Amino acid sequence: MVNDNKPIEEPIDESTTENGKTAEEEVAESKEGENEIEHLRQELEAARKKADENWEVALRAKAEADNVRKRAAKDVENAHKYSIEKLVSEFLPVKDSLELGLSASENATVESLVEGMELTLKAFNNALEKCGVEEVDPLGEKFDPELHQAMSMIEKPGVEPGTVVEVMQKGYLLNGRLVRPAMVVVAK
């Protein structure tokens, strides 16, 4: 006789696990997890490598900026130190000319001394011109307080008031900028 009260047992599939997944599924998931971990490790390694490269670039940029700053400071120091080098090189021939004139003055005539002084003055004016120095000699011009300093005023018949009638001392410009105003006498 057959016992109908017994529950029918289903045959157990040994290939299923407690999660209800087959061993093959779990192995596949495990391999996927390992692949995922390996992929993340590779990404982490690539990120570290990129970070190291960026760090090197940053260090090189900082070192270059420091070098540029140091070079600029040295250039400024040299510019201050040697700023008048051109001026000195232009004036040395004038000094040589004056020394030559003094050594030759013992046997010189007044005319030759005057000629030597005129040549030296011309060399000096050329040197000033090469250095960007312009003379301000406003005789006969309208008084300009930007370039002239009035020392006195006099009545001068036939001359328009405000006109420079005498220059007591010439003025000078350096590359267009006033170094010394001309000292003048102006007509009333």
Q: Where are the domains of the chain?
A: 132-188
Architecture of the domain spanning 132-188? Roll (2.30)
Q: Identify whether the C-beta of residue 184 lies closer than 8 Å to the C-beta of residue 150.
A: yes
Read off the pLDDT band of 11 (50, 70, 90): low
Q: Please name which of 138, 137, 140, 136 lies closest in space to residue 156, comparing C-alpha atoms.
A: 140
- Bridge partners of residue 182, in order along the sequence: 148
Contacts of 136 (CB under 8 A, 6+ apart): 147, 148, 170, 171, 172, 173, 178, 181, 182
Q: Which phi and psi (to 5°) does residue 137 adopt?
A: -125, 90
Residue type, 169: Q
Each residue of 86-110: pLDDT tens digit? 888 888 999 998 898 888 888 888 8
Check residue 10 and give its pLDDT: 53
